[in-house]
Structure 1
Amino acid sequence: MTKTTTLSSEFSLDQKGLTAARKSLDDGAITPAYGPHRNAIIKLLNDSLATELVCVLRYKRHHFMASGLSSPKIAEEFLVHANEESAHADRIARRIVQLGGEPDFSPGTLLERSHADYDDSNDLKTMVRVNLIAERVAIETYHQMIQLIGDKDTTTRRMLEDILADEEEHADELKDWLED
C-alpha cells in the first residue's frame, strides 16, 4: 500500500523516489535522493579525513615538543586540539561508511590528500603560527565543501558545519596565543 502525500502542486513528494526507497535495502540510508553526487562527496570527505589526521599528528608532536615559559598551557591546548581533530576524523570516517564508502586511513598518502601541512618545528611561536595557518586552511576548506554540497547531502553538510565551528574556535584561540 502506498500513501500519496501531496501538499499542493508545488509541494508534492516524488513518488518514484519513495517507491525506490522501499527497494535496495542493502544500501541502508542511501536512497535515490543522494543522486549522482555520493562518490564525489565521499572523495571530499576522504580528503578531509586525511587533513584531520595530519592535524592530529602535528598537534600531538607540538604537544610533546612545546617548551618555554608559556609552554605548559599551550602544550595542554595542543593536546586538546589533537583530541578534537581526532574526533572530527572519527565523525568523517563514520559518515563515509554511512554513504557506502571506505574511509582512507592509508599513511602513505595522507600528506598528498591533506589540505593542511605537517610541521616539525621546535619553536613555540612557530608551532602556534603553523597551527593557525592549518586551522585557517581547514576553515576555508570546510566553507567551500559546505557550499559545494549544499542541499545534495544535508546530513554531511550539518556535520561539516559542526566541525567548521570547532575549527573557527581553534583559530581564535591560536590567534590569541600569537598576541601574548
Structure 2
Amino acid sequence: MIVSTLSRPAEAGPLNLDNAALQQARQNLNDGAVTPTGSPWREDIVRLLNHALATELVCVLRYKRHHFTAHGLNSPAIAEEFREHADEEAAHADSLARRIVQLGGEPDFNPSRLLDSSHADYDEAVELKSMVRANLVAERIAIESYRQMIGLIGDKDPTTRRLLEDILRDEEEHADELAALLDN
C-alpha cells in the first residue's frame, strides 16, 4: 500500500466551487455552453482554432489532390491512404469549426485567407514519393502546432484542450503511416 506524504500547504483553503459563477450560468441561456464567466482568453483561443481550421482545410485539399493524381505501381494503396487522411482532416475541421461556434466565434472558411492562416503548405507534387514526403512534412507541422496550442491553452479551456489532444493523436498516427510508406 502506498501512503501519500504530501500535505496541503497551510495557506491553501478548501476546494469550493464559485457559487456566484454557478448562479451566473443560469443567465443568457441562448449562449449555449458559453457561460457569462467565460474565458478571458476566448478571443485568443478562437484565433488559434481558426489557424488550426485553415491548416486542416489546406491539408484536406492537398490530400484530395494527391489522392486523385497519384499514379504508379504502388499508387492505388497510397492514394487510398491519402483519401482516408483527407476524410479524417475534414472531420477535424468540422470539430474545430463547431468548437469555434461554441465559443461564440466565427469559423473562417474564406478561401482567400486559408493559405495565409494555415501552418501547413499546399503541394502540387506529381511523383508519389514527393507526395508522401509533402504530406509527412505537413503532418509534422500540424503535430508541432497542436502541441504548442495544447501547451498555451493548458487549463484555460479544458474542452478545447481535449479536442486538440484528440486531433493530435490522429495527426501522430497519420505521420507514422506516412513515414512507413517512405520506408517501403
C-alpha separation in 2, matches of 1:147 and 1:26: 31
| Letter matched to residue 141 of structure 2 | V
CA contact (8 A) 2:61 2:122 kept: yes
C-alpha separation in 1, matches of 2:52 and 2:137: 16
| Letter matched to residue 146 of structure 2 | Y
Report what 2:138 is aligned to: 134
Could you give the per-residue CA deviations for residues 79-133 of structure 1, whole angstroms, max 9, x where no partner exists?
Answer: 0000000000001011111111111100000000000000001010000001000
Report what 1:50 is aligned to: 54
C-alpha separation in 2, matches of 1:17 and 1:35: 12
1:156 corresponds, among 157, 160, 175, to 160
CA contact (8 A) 2:121 2:138 kept: yes
C-alpha separation in 2, matches of 1:81 and 1:10: 47
Is residue 2:56 matched to residue 1:90? no
CA contact (8 A) 1:53 1:85 kept: yes
Could you give the per-residue CA deviations for residues 42-93 of structure 1, whole angstroms, max 9, x where no partner exists?
Answer: 1110110000000000000000111111111000100000000000000101
Report what 2:82 is aligned to: 78
- Alpha-carbon distance, 1:26 to partner: 2.6
Report matched runs for 1:162-173 at 5 Å: 162-173=166-177
Q: Which moved more, 1:27-36 or 1:153-162?
A: 27-36
Q: Which runs of 5+ in 1 are unaligned?
A: 1-7
C-alpha separation in 2, matches of 1:174 and 1:32: 44
Is residue 2:23 matched to residue 1:19? yes
- Identity percentage over the alignment? 66
Question: After the TM superposition, which parts of structure 1 deviate over 4 Å for at least 4 consecutive aligned residues?
Answer: none
CA contact (8 A) 2:28 2:36 kept: no
RMSD (CA atoms): 1.2
- Alpha-carbon distance, 1:28 to partner: 1.6
Is residue 2:109 matched to residue 1:105? yes
